[in-house]
Copies of this chain bind each other. A is one copy, B any other.
Amino acid sequence: MQYPEPIAKLIESFMKLPGIGQKTAARLAFFCLDMQEEEVVHFANALISTKRDLHYCSKCGNITESDPCIICSDETRLRSTVLVVENPRDIMSMEKIREYNGLYHVLHGVLSPMEGTGPEDLNIPNLIKRLQEEEINEVIIATNATAEGEATAMYLSRLIKPAGIKVTRLAYGLAVGSDIEYADEMTLFRAIDGRREL
């Protein structure tokens, strides 16, 4: 026996999402069946609208309804600094702390020889073009603290530094509120290495 076609298709769609297996997909699909029709329609419209109305900013690669995006077209922001992130969600995390007031550049991934992702698969050519055309004097590399994020940071640094532009990287160290006892060795090593005078 099979599920009726509509719900079988919905389960299939949920299963295409990352981290969702068959059991979870079935649970979610049955949950949708019990939702208010209005909410289901909202959900469906949001899906379509997200796909159709949102684009990547032609300058920085952030998601946006208008082009260039609101950050790129904000005249109050410092235009001499570019913070490079892996994906648009990282911009949101940065904006939440209200500390950084420069521009952004989204790579849409990291270099990963294992997955066959090279520089040409990322938003790197566009970054180089911006560095040539705009008056940028610092590039802050904020890729994740993973092996791939680190390799991508090193690659970008080697690519950009020869042009005389300052390249910086977010600090490594203990997370605020964390215990030294539970910190991994690499983190402790970096925390000692990056120690600062009080």
Complexed CA–CA distance, A89 and B28 (Å): 12
A16, B33: Cβ atoms closer than 8 Å: no
Complexed CA–CA distance, A35 and B50 (Å): 11
Q: How many chain-A residues does the 8 Å CB contact rule pick out?
A: 53
A30 at the interface (CB under 8 A from B): yes
A45 at the interface (CB under 8 A from B): yes
Sorted nearest first, the 6 A-B pairs with minimum C-beta distance are A13-B43, A44-B44, A10-B46, A1-B95, A6-B49, A9-B46
> Could you show 14 A-B contacts with beta carbons less than 8 Å apart?
A1-B95, A9-B49, A10-B43, A10-B47, A10-B50, A13-B39, A18-B28, A19-B24, A19-B27, A29-B50, A32-B47, A40-B50, A44-B45, A47-B47
